[in-house]
Each structure stands twice: as structure tokens, then as C-alpha cells.
């Protein structure tokens, strides 16, 4: 298979492609540990909160679990070869805390540490930069049993974990990410019961938010002190929050969702304060010096974005608002995510103005329910159209002044998509979960050609 040959699509030479990206722009792909690794019991890995959550009846579509997933733990070399074929310059992955510290703290697991040595070394040999995220939601169950994100002690446990990772990999890794989408795992885990620990408890949510923020600060300090040349960030999902109806109550619901979803972590971490809507609720938790501990200098902003989100008023809901589906009539993907590249462009411009940091788009992608055709291929035109439109919108944001320096597709592989299990596929590469066979989709071929064309454009 050669992903890099073949004619450019007509679209690739359209006006939006002509808008130049900065020199050294990074093209990449993203994954996360629990979603691809499998190898749940291999080599001393401890249990994670997702192992337990998946086993609770009714939590995950089809009763799916991450027990095997893409078996990336054993097949990482094949996956690196696929990335090389794509021509990506960077790979964003996460380390599994329970693989490195099976009890969450204390004695490290050498076999788990050695796995990421092999992965990082393999990436570097393939000329691909490793971008390492420390937390993509798979908390060690042992720490959950000690209070999880609800206990303030976790900031220290996380700081120790960050120091372990920095000491082990800091000689080869420069890009560190403290957290992936803190607002998703806190809101979904403590407010909506869609993620572990499966609660709908407003005060637990506020404790989790504050302790994740403190852990972020502790992580930044630990990494910085061990790897002085590190480029550190948190990755935030920022998506316009819209009311689903036209009532003032729905508008207020959308503002509150915006505070939890888009500002509960970015504002304390980057501006040193909680958003106005949340400040009075957080005040009882905030000790003197906490905001200084949280607001540590970072080097860039990681943005995950695929569509706007919607809220409606619901006085009976624990948070006073409910998550809502996009209204009928808006353009949506087959899995119900709104297609709105302009919202992506505007979000990039807005983040540039608010936080004055270089932005890397660390996730953007489209989900679908897909099967291989009779010839064993997959012509995922809708995904190509999505990526083309969103990359075009990013170029527009750059042309209008946004400092965007890289873009990572979610995701390299079809994988375990949390509550949706294996039903929703986001990969550029199709995975047959029965055989573990990988098949690049049309979008993989398109992305490889796009990266190649961009490289030619910048060398001219």
C-alpha cells in the first residue's frame, strides 16, 4: 500500500488551500490509551475506572469494553508504519496511568514504562514526533477507591505521576499535555453519569473541577522542573454552546453549559480566575494560593473541536440545564454531530484573542457507522468532505490572524468510542475488531496527499 501517490483531488487546489499555513506547520493524528491499547491485564497493568465502568450493565452500547480494543499494545509497530505511510509529522497519544502505576501511586511498573519506551523510540525512528498526553480519562481504579478527583490529595498523586513520566521520557519527548478535555470527563462523569464514576452530583462536580485544575498546575511544575525544554499545554474542547430553543431560560442554560464546558478550566489555568457564573460555587473550595497554583505558565493551547454543543433549560436536572441534541434542520453527521466549519474558524479566532498562545488543533474528526464494501475498501466521502471543510476553515482563521501551528485528525484508527463502544468509527484507518486487520479508508489516502501537497507548497 502506498498512501502518498495518486493525483490530487480537484478540491485540493481550491482557493482555501492557497491560504498559506505557517512554516513548520505540524500535521498529525491523535489516539488515546484506553481507546486503542487493549492488553487490559498485560504486564502488570492495574485496573482503570473505565474497566469497571464498562462492566456495569447498560453503561456502554452493546456491552463493549476496551479489553482488547485495537490491540495497539502488541501492534504498535504496525500502527507506526501506517503513520509513516500517512506522512504525519507528529503523533499524539496518551500514557495509561494504571499501566505505569498500577496502584495509582507508589511503585512504578517497569514493564508498562518499557512499553512507551518502545513506542516513543519507534516513532522517533520513523521521523514522527511523540506528543505525550498524561491523562485521557483512564484513572487508576485504586485512586478512585481513595476518592478519585473528589479528593484534594489527587493533585499530589498526579504531580508524582507527571514527574515519573517526565523523568522517564523527557530525554525524547518535548511536547507534554497535562489533560485531555478536563471539562468532558468531569461534566460527563460527575454531572451526567455518562462516564465514570457515573454520578449526577453538583458538589462532586465542583470538587472534581477544582482538583483537576490543581493537578494541572502540579503537573506543569513537575514537568517543567525535570524537562526544562518541554513545551507544555492542556488540551481543551472548546465548542460554541447554543440554546436549543428561543426562550430566555434556554439562553441561560446555554450560558451555564458554556461556563462548565468552555471556561471552567481555561480561565483558571490561563487567566487565574473562575468564570463569573461558577466563581461563587467554587469559592468554598478555593484555598489561598490555589489560583496561583493552577495558573502556571504554559507554552501553547491544545484545541479539540468538531461541532457546536446545545443546551436546554431543565430545572429538574442536577445542574439546572440539560444537554440537548442539535435541532432538526442543522446539517449533521450520521452520528448527530453538527457540521459547522464556520464555528471552528470562529473558535480559533476567539481563542487567539482570549489567550494569546500558539494553538495546535489536537483533535478534529468525524464519526460514522461504517462497514467495508464488497471489495474490502471504504470510501468515506463524508469524512473527506468534513476534513476538507474544517481544514479550509482553519486556513481562513490563520489568514485572519489566528496563530494556529498544527492540526491532528481524530483519529488514526477506529477505536473504543466511550459510551458508544465500537459502533461509532472515527478512524482514517478501518479496524476489523474480529481480526485486527487495518484498512486505510479513502480519507487516509486523502490526508496523506494533502500533507504531501502542503509540504510541496511550503518548499516552493
Catalytic residue among 363, 370, 396, 417: 363
9 is a catalytic site residue: no
| Binding region for ligand FCB (CB under 6 A) out of 178-186, 278-286, 395-403, 432-440 | 178-186
Q: Which of residues 35-64 bind ligand FCB (CB under 6 A)?
A: 35
Residue (of 120, 136, 48) closest to 362 by Cα position = 136
CB 5 to ligand FCB: min, Å: 30
Cβ atoms of 448 and 388 within 8 Å: the answer is: no
| Binding region for ligand FCB (CB under 6 A) out of 94-102, 177-185, 252-260, 271-279 | 177-185
When binding is defined by CB under 6 A, the residue of 94, 183, 239, 304 that contacts ligand FCB is 304
Cell of 68: 482488547
CA atoms of 334 and 368, how far apart (whole Å):
6
184 lies in the binding site for ligand FCB (CB under 6 A):
yes
237 lies in the binding site for ligand FCB (CB under 6 A):
yes
Chain-centre distance for alpha carbon 417: 12
Catalytic residue among 37, 40, 181, 267: 181
363 is a catalytic site residue: yes
Residue (of 30, 33, 35) closest to 130 by Cα position = 30
CA atoms of 108 and 110, how far apart (whole Å):
6
Kindly determine how many residues on this chain lie close enough to bind ligand FCB according to the rule CB under 6 A: 12
- The gap between the terminal CA atoms of the chain, to the nearest Å, is 28
> For 379, phi and psi rounded to 5 degrees?
-95, 85
Q: Judged by CB, which is closer to ligand FCB: 49, or 164?
A: 49
Q: Judged by CB, which is closer to ligand FCB: 227, or 387?
A: 387
CB 419 to ligand FCB: min, Å: 9
363 lies in the binding site for ligand FCB (CB under 6 A):
yes
Q: How many residues does the chain have?
A: 460
CB 401 to ligand FCB: min, Å: 27
Is the dihedral angle over the CA atoms 88, 90, 96, 101 positive or is it negative? positive
Binding mask 395-434 for ligand FCB (x = CB under 6 A): ---------------x------xx-------x--------
Residue (of 205, 151, 159) closest to 182 by Cα position = 205
Three-class SS state of 413: strand
CA atoms of 45 and 66, how far apart (whole Å):
13
What residues act catalytically? 181, 363
Applying CB under 6 A, which residues contact ligand FCB?
32, 35, 180-181, 184, 237, 304, 363, 410, 417-418, 426
Amino acid at each position: 500500500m502506498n498512501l502518498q501517490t495518486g493525483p490530487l483531488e480537484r478540491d485540493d487546489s481550491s482557493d482555501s488551500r492557497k491560504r498559506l499555513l505557517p512554516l513548520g506547520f505540524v500535521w498529525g493524528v491523535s489516539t488515546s490509551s484506553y481507546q486503542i491499547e487493549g492488553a487490559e491485564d498485560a504486564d502488570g497493568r492495574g485496573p482503570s475506572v473505565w474497566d469497571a465502568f464498562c462492566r456495569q450493565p447498560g453503561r456502554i452500547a452493546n456491552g463493549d469494553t476496551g479489553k482488547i480494543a485495537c490491540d495497539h499494545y502488541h501492534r504498535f509497530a504496525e500502527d507506526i508504519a501506517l503513520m509513516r505511510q500517512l506522512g504525519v509529522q507528529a503523533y499524539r497519544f496518551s500514557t495509561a496511568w494504571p499501566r505505569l502505576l498500577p496502584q495509582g501511586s507508589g511503585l512504578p511498573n517497569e514493564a508498562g514504562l518499557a512499553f512507551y519506551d518502545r513506542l516513543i523510540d519507534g516513532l522517533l525512528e520513523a521521523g514522527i514526533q511523540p506528543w505525550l498526553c498524561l491523562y485521557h480519562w483512564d484513572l487508576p481504579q485504586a485512586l478512585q477507591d481513595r476518592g478519585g478527583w473528589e479528593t484534594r490529595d489527587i493533585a499530589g498523586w498526579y504531580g508524582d505521576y507527571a514527574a515519573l513520566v517526565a523523568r522517564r521520557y523527557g530525554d525524547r519527548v518535548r511536547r507534554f499535555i497535562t489533560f485531555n478535555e478536563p471539562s468532558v470527563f468531569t461534566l460527563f462523569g460527575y454531572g451526567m453519569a455518562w462516564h465514570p464514576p457515573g454520578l449526577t452530583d453538583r458538589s462532586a462536580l465542583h470538587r472534581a473541577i477544582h482538583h483537576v485544575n490543581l493537578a494541572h498546575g502540579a503537573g506543569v511544575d513537575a514537568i517543567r522542573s525535570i524537562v526544562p525544554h518541554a513545551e507544555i499545554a492542556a488540551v481543551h474542547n472548546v465548542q460554541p454552546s447554543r440554546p436549543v430553543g428561543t426562550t430566555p431560560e434556554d439562553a441561560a442554560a446555554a450560558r451555564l453549559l458554556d461556563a462548565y464546558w468552555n471556561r471552567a478550566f481555561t480561565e483558571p489555568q490561563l487567566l487565574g480566575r473562575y468564570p463569573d457564573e461558577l466563581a461563587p460555587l467554587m469559592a468554598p473550595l478555593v484555598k489561598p494560593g490555589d489560583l496561583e497554583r493552577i495558573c502556571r505558565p504554559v507554552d501553547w493551547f491544545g484545541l479539540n473541536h468538531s461541532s457546536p454543543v446545545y443546551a436546554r433549560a431543565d430545572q429538574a436536572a442536577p445542574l439546572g440545564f440539560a444537554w440537548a441534541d442539535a435541532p432538526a434542520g442543522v446539517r449533521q453527521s450520521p452520528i448527530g454531530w453538527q457540521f459547522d466549519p464556520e464555528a471552528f474558524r470562529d473558535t480559533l479566532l476567539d481563542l487567539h484573542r482570549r489567550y494569546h498562545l500558539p494553538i495546535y488543533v489536537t483533535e478534529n474528526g468525524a464519526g460514522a457507522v461504517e462497514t467495508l464494501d464488497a471489495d474490502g475498501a471504504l470510501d468515506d466521502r463524508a469524512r473527506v468532505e468534513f476534513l476538507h471543510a474544517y481544514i479550509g476553515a482553519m486556513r481562513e482563521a490563520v489568514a485572519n490572524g489566528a496563530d494556529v501551528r498544527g492540526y491532528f485528525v481524530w483519529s488514526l484508527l477506529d477505536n473504543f468510542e466511550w459510551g458508544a463502544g465500537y459502533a461509532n468509527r472515527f478512524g482514517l484507518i478501518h479496524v476489523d475488531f474480529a481480526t485486527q486487520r487495518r484498512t486505510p479508508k479513502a480519507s487516509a489516502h486523502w490526508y496523506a496527499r494533502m500533507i504531501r501537497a502542503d509540504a510541496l507548497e511550503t518548499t516552493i
